[in-house]
Amino acid sequence: MTGSVSRYKQEIEETGFTTIDKIYSEEEIADILKIIDTTDSSKETFRKSDDLFAIRQFLKEIPEITSLIFNQKLNHLISDLFGNEYFVVKSIYFDKPGKSNWYVSYHQDLTISVDHKTDHQDFGPWTKKQNQYAVQPPLHILERNFTIRIHLDDTNELNGALKVIPKSHLKKIYRPENIDWTIENEVICSINKGGVMIMKPLILHSSNRTVNQQRRRVIHIEFSNSDLPKGINWAEKFYQ
């Protein structure tokens, strides 16, 4: 595993992402989905449409699922790759149905979720969605953060697998309208059910519409090791 960890670390640092298979068994995936499917979806943090079902503050809304998400394999992977100083700061569950026309254009994840809006010269602009505040923090916070995407279905280019531009996380703020396709390459991140993708928030990424009638269910968890200034608090914060 040591050699693999070194390779994963190198890929994350140099290209901005890596993919890893077999973090969850079929039985573990089934147990996770059973809890999700039997959860009351009438809350404010739940969003349901023909194109997308999403649960914001996922681990706060369904705390009993936490021990299933952070199984031994994932905990060891996080510790080996990043150490023990990181904590969860955001969690979302996405379900993209088989007939979904939902797509996401190229973007970087430039905001963090916080519990309320306040004035601070280094933080902004602010947004609010489904009663959740988000703000763009100083770049050094985003550069240290990482995201793990847990795949509960086989995902490929036909059902909205994430597309990324390798090494774009090294270019600070990189506006989609400035992408130079004469030098950039697009990679489609196909991932098997039970696998994970680890990515840096500053990597440019997007996803297409589903065209094969196969759903795509993903748990998106963001991690940080940064303390926020006084008066600004993470909306979600806990050590796994």
Question: pLDDT (tens digit, 9 = 90+) per residue, 146-157?
Answer: 999 999 999 999
Q: Which residues pair with 15 in a beta bridge?
A: none
Under the phi-then-psi rule, with left for phi > 0, alpha for psi from -120 to 50, and beta for the rest, what region is 73?
alpha
pLDDT, averaged per 10 consecutive residues of the chain (240 residues), comes to: 83 98 98 93 71 85 96 97 97 86 92 94 91 94 98 95 98 95 96 98 95 93 96 91
CA–CA gap between residue 218 and residue 206 (Å, rounded): 14
The architecture CATH gives domain 2-224: Sandwich (2.60)
The confidence score (pLDDT) of residue 104 equals: 92
pTM of the model: 0.95
The confidence score (pLDDT) of residue 42 equals: 75
The confidence score (pLDDT) of residue 34 equals: 96
The confidence score (pLDDT) of residue 168 equals: 98
The confidence score (pLDDT) of residue 100 equals: 75
Residue with tokens 């500053």: 202
* Amino acid letter for position 207: S
